[in-house]
Amino acid sequence: MLDRNKITIRTLFDKVSKGKPISWLTCYDYPTAHFQEQAGIDMILVGDSLGMTMLGYDTTLPVTMNDMIRHTQAVRRGAPTAFLVGDMPYMSYQPSNETAIRNAGRFMAEADCDSIKLEGGGEMADRIQAIANAGIPAMGHLGLTPQSVSALGGYRVQGRGALQAKKIIDDAKTLENAGAFSILLEMVPDRVTKIITERAEDCIIMSLGSGPHAHGQLLIYHDMFGLYPKFKPRMAKVFGNAGEILLKGLTQYVEEVTDKTFPQPENWFTIKDEDYDQLLELL
């Protein structure tokens, strides 16, 4: 078993000050959390991407707070020391500061999270400030923000034009000033990420497909292992094809049940002869 102290916000800032990159993955269930923890992952995001990767929706929009809490609790049971980020689902923070604080609080109280993440630029500064003021570490999310996929016109790189890039840079500073301890940049051009990271004073900048100049990297677990059948984003590196291994094993299982080569004696349990004889007498 992995022997390490709990990863806290201080551990993360310490890594940043020493120039050590932070590793971060999405996770939605107990066994995967166990393996990620054993691998020594620094941070885990229970993303509302679980709506797509685990529940099969086409977008993240139908995900509820109860979905998030259930999966986040399971992840915490598998990864007791990783820094755990709960992802605020659609409409769990947009309506008001009060809604945002209440739901952020649920992640902390019910699922033992270390922080929450919410999507949006300067217009969400108020929410970040309210949550941070309630004593909950809050992370921003800029660039491609999947909850706004309709308004953004699809899953595409953000900030390629100078004006759009400037807006992301300004938004990052606004969120940092509002109290965000960290900001995730998703699908933002590498040189824009570099500017944001260099300008961050007290804020950890994380990258998902946004280049090497951030303080750390995030990947979607299902993209890393060929576990999402609908598509693989260009930014994702495949570290192993678990989907292929699973499909091979499952096909073999169906074949073996069909041709009666499964089960074999080591796969079932027996009853002693004397107990069996007694049973027959009882029947």
List contacts with ligand KIV (CB under 6 A).
Answer: 26, 45, 47-49, 60, 87, 146, 184, 186, 208, 220
Residue 224: CB minimum distance to ligand KIV, A:
12
**What b/e string do you get for 262-277 counting C-beta neighbours within 10 Å, with b at 16 or more?**
eeeeeeeeeeeeeeee
Whose Cβ is closer to ligand KIV: residue 225's or residue 283's? 225
Compute the distance between CA of residue 264 and CA of residue 2 in angstroms, rounded to an integer. 36
Closest-approach residue to ligand KIV (CB):
47
Residue 14: CB minimum distance to ligand KIV, A:
24
Assigned token pair, 229? 């059948």
Residue 5: CB minimum distance to ligand KIV, A:
26
Whose Cβ is closer to ligand KIV: residue 121's or residue 146's? 146
Whose Cβ is closer to ligand KIV: residue 60's or residue 103's? 60
User: What are the residue numbers of the active site?
Assistant: 186
Whose Cβ is closer to ligand KIV: residue 66's or residue 280's? 66
Are 242 and 224 in contact by the 8 Å Cβ rule? The answer is no
Sequence-distant (6+) residues with CB within 8 A of 94 are none
Residue 258: CB minimum distance to ligand KIV, A:
38
